[in-house]
Amino acid sequence: MAKFRIRCECGSETIVNAGQAGDEAGCASCGRVIQVPKLRDLGSFRLAESTSEAHRDRNVSSTNYRLAAVGAVVLLVASFLVMPAVPDISADMHREVMARMTDAEIHSLWTDGLAKNNVRRPPTSEERTLQRRHRKAAVMARALQIVAASLVVTTVALLVVSWARDRGANPGR
C-alpha cells in the first residue's frame, strides 16, 4: 500500500498509508492529531520511501546470502587446513611392522580397524563363490516374494468375486 509523508504543525513529517485517507493520525514527534487528507488529495503529498525500504530489505537479504556464501567458503577452506596430514608410509615400512606382529594381532587389527573404515581387500576365490551364491539366492528370494504377493492378491480377488456372486444369489444374507 502506498505511503505518504504529511507535515505536522511542529515541522516533522509523519508517514501515513493510503488506507488512512480521510482519517486522523498522530504525529510521531509531538503527538498532535493530524487530519489525513482524502485519497484524491493524497497524490499531492510526497511519497514515503516504501519502495526504497523494500529495496533496502532486498539488499539486506542479498547481503545475508552473500555472508552465508562467504561463511561456507571459509568453512570449506578451514576444513582443508585443519585436516590432518596423512603420513607417508612406504610398503617396506608396512612389511616391517607386519613381520613383528603375531597372527592374532594382525587379525585384531583387520577386524577392529581396517574393516570398520571400509578398507577392502580383494575377495578370495571361495569368497567370490559365496558372493555369487548369495546374489543368486537373493534374486530367487525376491522372485518368490513377488510370486507369493501375486498369489495373495489373486486369492483375495477370487474371494471377493465369490462373495459378490453369493451375495447376488442370496440378497437377504
What are residue 33's phi and psi, to 5 degrees? -85, 125
pTM of the predicted protein model: 0.31
Instruction: Report whether 123 contacts 131 (CB < 8 A).
Output: yes
Reported confidence tier of residue 170, pLDDT bands at 50, 70, 90: low
Q: Indicate whether 102 and 115 sit together in one domain.
A: yes
Reported confidence tier of residue 35, pLDDT bands at 50, 70, 90: confident
User: Quick one: 109 exposed, middle or buried, by C-beta within 10 A (0-12, 13-18, 19+)?
Assistant: middle
Q: Among residues of the chain, what percentage have pLDDT more than 70? A: 76
Alpha-carbon distance of 16 to 35, in angstroms, equals 11
**How many domains does the chain fold into?**
4
In-domain check, residue 86: no
The per-residue pLDDT for 128 is 87
CA angle 29, 30, 32 (to 5 degrees): 120
120-155 pLDDT, tens digit each: 777 788 888 888 888 888 888 888 888 888 888 888
Q: Could you tell me the residue range of the domain that residue 30 belongs to?
A: 3-48
Q: Indicate whether 68 and 102 sit together in one domain.
A: no
In-domain check, residue 77: yes
93-118 pLDDT, tens digit each: 878 888 898 988 888 877 777 667 76
In-domain check, residue 71: yes
Alpha-carbon distance of 137 to 141, in angstroms, equals 6
In-domain check, residue 168: yes
Q: Indicate whether 33 and 71 sit together in one domain.
A: no
In-domain check, residue 137: yes
Q: Is the pLDDT confidence value at 51 over 60?
A: no
Q: Indicate whether 114 and 146 sit together in one domain.
A: no
Q: Indicate whether 32 and 19 sit together in one domain.
A: yes
